[in-house]
Amino acid sequence: ITKKKMLVAVVVVVSVVALSSLSAVSGLAGDSTYYVFAYSWTPEFCYGQPTYAGCKNPQAFWGTYFTLHGLWPQYSNGGYPATCTTEAFNSSIPTSIGWNDMTQYWPNVQYLETDSSYDSFWEHEWTKHGTCSGLTQQDYFQNTLNLIKSFGTPKSVTAAVGGTISAASLRSDFGGAEYVSLQCTSGKFLNGAYTCWSKVNNLPTAQIVCGADVQKEDTCTASTLTVTSF
């Protein structure tokens, strides 16, 4: 565990590097080909950020289910559009959708819910990715929540919390190796997953095979993965 904690200090850096290799290119709102739907495994993330408010006092839900990282427009020939408009984040949207749902499924563990910076994560996701979706803010956040509610955490992950799971079986549970890009710290500690979704009228519609650049983002190199618990 001591060795693991030393390694996990680089979780955030590794994640940022992985995401940045999905290259941003110029684009217009709504012109992407499909969506990348990004999950986060909060217990593993929190090993690298033990002083974050949400990590010190996590919701029980986060310990057994994936939470949201975001819904990201993507191009089938590689790359993704970013910051497509200057439309500012509307801070009333989370309350309009349902504050409890937003904080349960899409938490910002860095801050207390009462902190004025709590919605900075949602603001980032809207500014960088949501503005390229072609959706209103209400529709972008609501449909992203709907997606994790209907296509959430495989039962095998919940059953393996605090233990291990076969990487091959987990990829199968997500539809197969071409349909998911697993995310790991140090190759074996599960910290998230990317799945890919077709779009109709800019709404995520059905799971599809991920583009080659997204498949290459799979960082789980071990055959057996650890599913960290709080």
The one catalytic residue among 44, 69, 87, 217: 69
Annotated catalytic residue 129 = yes
Dist CA 25 CA 108 (whole Å):
27
Nearest one of 102, 220, 208 to 167, comparing CA atoms: 220
Annotated catalytic residue 217 = no
Q: What is the DSSP string of 83-103?
A: --S-PPP-TTHHHHH-HHHHH
The one catalytic residue among 113, 124, 125, 178: 125
Dist CA 12 CA 158 (whole Å):
23
Nearest one of 46, 38, 95 to 67, comparing CA atoms: 38
Strand partners, 197: 35, 207
Annotated catalytic residue 124 = no
CB atoms within 10 A of CB 180: 27
DSSP element (H, E) containing 193: strand 189-200
CA distances from 133 to 76, 106, 127 (A): 15, 18, 10
Q: In the chain, what is the straight-line distance between the N-terminal and C-terminal CA atoms, in Å?
A: 13
CA dihedral angle for residue 208, residue 140, residue 157, residue 111, rounded to 10 degrees: 150
The one catalytic residue among 113, 129, 178, 217: 129
- Give backbone dihedrals phi and psi of 34, rounded to 5 degrees, phi first: -155, -175
Active site residues: 69, 125, 129
